[in-house]
Structure 1
Amino acid sequence: MEATTPGRSRGLLWIIALGATTVAAYLALLGWDQRKDLDVVTGNETGPYEAWQIIGLGLVVAALAFLAGRKHQVLSAVVALPLALTAAFAVIAVSSPEPGFWPIGALLLALGSAAATTLVAVIGRSTASHRPA
């Protein structure tokens, strides 16, 4: 059996912590709001999310990616954040009464969050000291 290195264990802990925090933020900001809003004047449906919910989740995920980058955990962030976001989205989308095109949304969320997480984590890494923490 191969011995676990401290760096590998630290990376795994970061992945677990980032993933759990991301899912908690997703559920706190988006998970409770599943009802679409109907404008009685125009008859248009919007939602289910308000702009502040999406912006809030984006800020939390960006802060997590930046922090992980500063702590030299770019790869952990790139693995954990998009995976957790996509999984949370997919679970809620599948259980909704109108699943619709959720696989396309999940794919776009995975690709977009992976790109954004990579960018923000690399920016965070560039602001960190040169010694791993």
Structure 2
Amino acid sequence: MRQGLVKLFPQLAAGLVLATVTAGAWAAWLGWDQQRDVQPDGTTTGPYEAWQVIGLVLTLLALVYGAVSRDYIAAVAGIPVGLTAAAYYDWSDDSSGLFMVGVVMVMVGSLAVTAGVAAVIACLTRDGRRSRRTA
């Protein structure tokens, strides 16, 4: 039992760090932009610009790669947790109440994409390690 906890602790700690860094990345890339842009035809867009979302995605890709390359596979769950918490905090002032639909979509989507990207990275890095060992 004790040995299992010793192996689980680094995963949990890395997951907590990833969740915190992910929420910070959300704040850095998206959290400061809260104003919708009004177009000449009266429609509104935003509040986020494409470059902000792309920056967040690239930051999160680096986090996933760093965690998977250090064999913190279970810790990758911290990224969807951080995104979900940040989205909830950022969008909770919506008076319509529909923000929870968006938060759930962020949770499900980020979990699916993070798991898929982590699996691809794990396969690619494991294949590279095997080929280096045999060479």
Task: State the TM-score, normalizing by the size of structure 1.
Answer: 0.85
- Residue segments in structure 1 that go unaligned for 5+ positions in a row: none
3-state secondary structure, aligned to 1:64:
helix
The reply to whether residue 88 of structure 1 matches residue 60 of structure 2 is no
Measure, in 2, the Cα distance between the counterparts of 1:22 and 1:120.
16
Identity across the alignment (%): 33
Measure, in 1, the Cα distance between the counterparts of 2:87 and 2:37.
19
Number of aligned positions between the proteins: 126
Residue type at the aligned position of 1:66: Y
Residue type at the aligned position of 1:17: V
Structure of larger gyration radius = 2
Residue type at the aligned position of 1:90: Y
RMSD value, Cα: 1.7
The alpha carbon displacement at 1:99 in A equals 4.8
Residue type at the aligned position of 1:80: G
Moved more, 3-12 or 117-126: 3-12
User: In the alignment, what sits opposite 2:133?
Assistant: none
User: In the alignment, what sits opposite 2:71?
Assistant: 72
Higher helix share goes to which structure? 2
The reply to whether residue 57 of structure 1 matches residue 80 of structure 2 is no
Task: State the TM-score, normalizing by the size of structure 2.
Answer: 0.84
Matches within 5 A, 1:11-30: 11-30=11-30
The answer (yes or no) to whether the contact 1:68–1:76 under 8 Å persists in 2 is: yes
The reply to whether residue 111 of structure 1 matches residue 108 of structure 2 is yes
Measure, in 2, the Cα distance between the counterparts of 1:51 and 1:104.
21
Measure, in 1, the Cα distance between the counterparts of 2:96 and 2:32.
17
Measure, in 2, the Cα distance between the counterparts of 1:81 and 1:34.
22
Measure, in 2, the Cα distance between the counterparts of 1:91 and 1:6.
33
